[in-house]
Structure 1
Amino acid sequence: MSSRLLASLLFMALLLPVGGAALAAPSEQDEAAAWLARAGQTEGLTGQVVFQLLLGEVALQRGQVNLAVSAYQDLALRTRDPAVVKRAVELAGAAQQYGMALELARIWVELEPESQQARQSLAGLLVMAGRIDELDGPISQLLAADPASLGANFLDLNRLLARHPDKPAVLAFVERMAQPYPTLPEAYYAIALAAFNAGQLERSRFEVRRAQKLKPEWEAPVLLESQIVLKEAGEERVDEAVRLLSDYLQRHPGAVEVRLHLARVLIGAKRYPEARQQFDALLKLEPDNPEVVYPVAMLALQEQDLETARRQFSRLLELPFPDRDVVRYFLGQIEEAAGDKAAALQHYKQVEGGAQYLMARGRGAQLLVEQGKRDEALAFLRQSTVRTPQEKVHLAQMQAQLLREGGQYAAAYATLAAALKLQPEQPDLLYDTSLAAEKLGKFQEMETLLKKLIKLQPDNAHAYNALGYSLADRNLRLKEAHELIQKATSLAPQDPFIMDSLGWVLYRQGKLQEAREVLEKAYALKADAEIAAHLGEVLWRQGRHQEALELWQKAQAQAPHNETLQAILKKFKP
């Protein structure tokens, strides 16, 4: 018999819905074979029963699960033999016919009231059915039958009922289970956790302190109490949690989980130097624990302590840390920050997957561009392995950006158009392809794409803005352009680039003073070269030439290659 009855029950309750995988278990087939052999020797056995036995097993072997379940259900009700009933419960549960499995389990317990397996099956099915009101008997019997694992089994109670939506009912149930065990700290802890999940924080703290009193060295209660304290917002709550954890560590300096939790609380409160102290202590206690080394490395990186970050991330590559790709990515970031771009590139190239994969490919490509290897950078991106539709979008965008930066506008457009052909209603691709089409003078295509995007996303401010700005910049259909940009403004009133578009269309309409006011507001929010170019032109048209020149000069110093600015400078200052 298992030493952890509720652990087995928890496993069954959580994993039973896996479907037919359990149907072909060798032990079950052996039991069925044994039953068939025993049944064949039983006097008075009807041919119908033998036929159904054979029918059930043959159907099971052929994958006809429903037929097998139906045959065994009928046999279980006919024969009331415990072996057949057990087999029927297993098959019905594995086939996810839980109502039938529950009724059969009740029969099994009735036939074999001393069977732990029968009671476990019944309890597990009651949990899955949400029948918490019927669980008292089965669970209390399982707890009493396993005294050696009583504490561990109480710790499983809340996990067992984690899916039950009525948290106060779960709390009441745990209280009833704990009542016979007034000296068991795990029982009070289970009540405290159930109260916490039910939102009864005062009750939870009261019960967790009872557990602490009975078992002062136990880490779990102090960890839960700190969570109770932090449940309510406020800096004073953080201070109280820090005091609580620190006091415990003074008494038990080797408590790794408590110290790790304290370090995380300090990071959450942005108290980085104090967190660093805790992690330094943790490294002395457990230098080979990846859960310690990783946050130390991240904290050092955040504090720009590159040497410590490099050392700890490199250490992770020697430890059983599961996400080696994230380690390689951050090592690349460290080497970039340290100025060793060759080493950074090597790390980025070694990132093979994960959330940082495309970022690593993008950074690697950018480093190649900085070395004057634009073609190699493009090849590096094109060799990337992407799986999801969103990853394909991001990769196309990165390639297009690299091509645009190299002045290869037609190639950028072709890249985006090819990606859009595969995902014709992808919003980001519609937007980027429209801008690439405009760059090549494909204005009708640009309008078509943006109007499609607006139809798909009526609240997309940037789509309205792009279409309105394009019309205004070409001095076409200014009334329509104004309406489109006004719509964008209503959706994103504080966006400086949309303000820039509004100022520009007002300028095109001859409303110089209104245009200047809007553009000055936009420039105050974002000192962008394109906004400066437009504002300067308005100032120039108002006769304020010196102001315009000074603004353009300042913008040119910050963005010497901005195309809009260069065009206006050529126009007014050839």
Structure 2
Amino acid sequence: MNRSPTRTFCRAASRLGLALALALPLAAHAQHAAEEPSPGALPAQELTAETLYQFLLAEIAGARGELGLSVRAYLEVARRTGDPRIARRAAEIALFARDLDAATQAARIWTQADPQSEDARRLLAGVLASGGERLDDVQIQFARVLAESPERLPQNLMSLNRALARVPDKLVALRIIERLTEPYLNLPEAHFARAQAAAIAQDPVEGLAAIDDALALQPDWEPAVLLKAQLFQQADAVGEAARMLEDFLTRHPENRNARLTYARALVAEQQFEPAREQFQRLLAEAPGDRDLGYAVGLLSAQLGDYELAERLLAEALAAGHPEGDAIRFNLAQIAEQRDNVERALALYDEIADGPHALQARVRSAQLLARAGRLDEARSRLHAPDADDDTRKRLLLAETQLLRDVERPEEAFQLIDGALQKYPEDTDLLYESAMLAERLDRVEVMEARLRKLIALDPEHAHAYNALGYSLADRGLRLEEAEELIAHALELAPEDPFILDSMGWVLFRRGQAAEAVVHLERAYAIRADPEIAAHLGEVLWSLERRADAERIWEEALAQHPEHAALRETIRRLRP
């Protein structure tokens, strides 16, 4: 059957043009039928040969994909005729062509031809905001839309932020919305618009005040409850969000959106078991939902429930989940936990490209190395056709493999060879310095760390590594403390730098001051080396019961850690 290309294009342009327009103006055209021109809006004029020619030119150019020509021709016909239907078509196709200037011209012709048209005013307001026009003109157009469309006022208020999305200064957009909503503060949607604008402007405090006003007018209104949860999270009050959603769900247990948001808030709070319970409840109501199955699978893996995790992740993969490689990666990790090396390797091998490919290659190499297949592991990390950054990351991974099997000299030579080619690469300098330190080549270590600091004065770990290495050897302790203090200024919450500060203070005979830094470091990260240092300082302060407790905790988690075991062996009678 023949299909008219012109008619096909017009239908497509109408649909797509309107779809694009809806991202810009206020209420969606899709929510109501296209309006008819107002009585008296149609021009009383005959169709001339020139007008017909321009109209056909516009249609044919559009059918051929020559959108620029089609837009220009439609604009010309709209100007000649003043016909609101032609102006509307010109605006739609201009939006489809992403020509905001032409869309603005067409929208102005439309509003002039049919001043009563709500669609025309709505589209003009949207394209003005998107095109960077004077904001006072934008506000006038939006104010008219709000004032002259009372039957759609709630929807239009809720759409204000979408309409102003392209205003670059979000604080300016917030103030515009505050002015536009001032006459409508008896409606919860007006307060919602203010709260949403505040969230976009990164002002959660103002947003929370506005959303509370909305909820005072309409308690338990789902959109407001969900936005309030978002604002709590933006204010780093995820716990408050979770408690508020939990309370809401006691009254509305059937609300899936709130339950999903609650589950995600629990994940953010690292309350994995309660989060899984919520996702499982959602999954029970929608057993074929691959996203929910994926979420429960991930949480089950986190909780060590590998049987359930493996089943759900495999089901999500079979259902064609878009995160297929991420699922394969997690399934491979589960296989590792179950000591199924061959299955893990097979899954990692299935991740051939994409964002997880490099990590999969490294993990498979680590797995082979732990299984005593070091040569095979190293060969997996060789990718001569990869880009420079990927090759460097693979080289660093190979270096780590050699460190792990106590072959630091080979690792150092590997990095040293790369430094010949890239002498100012800060990652290579840092790694080579750490290997030199392990080989007790203090001068090489210091030279490379100082070169790194010269190249990157904000590299906190370079200062820390140099300071700690000096302190651990009892060398130039005052300078070591200065280096670590500077590192701490750059990264005040880093547990390893806090550990270094505690250790250098201890070396300088200030055990009481040292323990403050070490306890803070251990509270942030229960690392076995930090535990060794903290225990030793506590032991020196005659707090031996505390030292024993810290050591036992660390040994339970890291029974083979050499530095920890050596510290305990040296100090215990």
TM over 0.5: yes
Q: Aligned pair in 2 of structure 1 residues 342, 220: CA closer, same or farther (>3 Å)?
A: same
Match of 2:337 in 1: 370
Match of 2:180 in 1: 207
Using the size of structure 1 for normalisation, the TM-score is 0.64
1:140 aligns with 2:111: yes
Match of 2:141 in 1: 174
Residue 445 of structure 1 is aligned with which of 385, 391, 414? Answer: 414
Q: How far apart in 2 are the matches of 1:528 and 1:117? A: 71
Unaligned runs of 5+ in 2: 1-9, 24-47, 485-498, 504-517, 537-543
Identity between Structure 1 and Structure 2 (%): 14
SS at match of 2:351: coil
Alignment size in residue pairs:
471
- Bigger Rg, which one: 1
Match of 1:114 in 2: 83
Q: Are 2:91 and 2:106, in contact at CA under 8 Å, matched by a contact in 1?
A: no
Match of 1:471 in 2: 436
Superposition deviation, residue 465 in structure 1 = 1.9
Deviation readout 1:56-102 (Å, 9 max, x if unpaired): xxxxxxxxxxxxxxxxxxxx99996245323354257x335x2x444
Q: Aligned pair in 2 of structure 1 residues 562, 141: CA closer, same or farther (>3 Å)?
A: same
Q: Aligned pair in 2 of structure 1 residues 177, 77: CA closer, same or farther (>3 Å)?
A: farther
Superposition deviation, residue 380 in structure 1 = 3.0
Residue 312 of structure 1 is aligned with which of 253, 260, 281? Answer: 281
Q: How far apart in 2 are the matches of 1:6 and 1:174? A: 23
Match of 1:86 in 2: 58
> What one-letter code is carried by the residue in structure 2 that aligns with 1:403?
L
Unaligned runs of 5+ in 1: 16-75, 538-545
Q: How far apart in 1 are the matches of 2:363 and 2:173? A: 50
Q: How far apart in 2 are the matches of 1:80 and 1:153? A: 24
Matches within 5 A, 1:308-347: 308-315=277-284, 317-318=286-287, 324-325=290-291, 327-336=292-301, 339-347=304-312
1:416 aligns with 2:386: no
Matches within 5 A, 1:12-411: 81-90=53-62, 94-96=65-67, 98=68, 100-110=69-79, 112-114=81-83, 116-117=85-86, 119-121=88-90, 124-125=93-94, 128-130=99-101, 134-135=105-106, 137-141=108-112, 144=115, 150=118, 156-161=123-128, 163-166=130-133, 168=135, 171-172=138-139, 174=141, 178=145, 181=148, 186=153, 189=157, 197=167, 199=172, 201-211=174-184, 216=187, 220-230=189-199, 236-250=205-219, 255-268=221-234, 269-270=237-238, 271=240, 272-284=242-254, 287=255, 291-299=257-265, 301=267, 302=269, 303=271, 304-305=273-274, 308-315=277-284, 317-318=286-287, 324-325=290-291, 327-336=292-301, 339-352=304-317, 357-382=324-349, 384-388=350-354, 390-411=355-376
> What one-letter code is carried by the residue in structure 1 that aligns with 2:209?
E
Residue 501 of structure 2 is aligned with which of 497, 501, 521? Answer: 521
Match of 2:18 in 1: 10
Q: Are 1:86 and 1:105, in contact at CA under 8 Å, matched by a contact in 2?
A: yes
1:485 aligns with 2:425: no
Deviation readout 1:186-229 (Å, 9 max, x if unpaired): 4984996567947154452242243465xx4xx64342132245
Q: How far apart in 1 are the matches of 2:501 and 2:89? A: 70
Using the size of structure 2 for normalisation, the TM-score is 0.64
RMSD over aligned Cα atoms: 5.1
Superposition deviation, residue 485 in structure 1 = 1.9
Q: Aligned pair in 2 of structure 1 residues 103, 191: CA closer, same or farther (>3 Å)?
A: same
Superposition deviation, residue 331 in structure 1 = 0.9
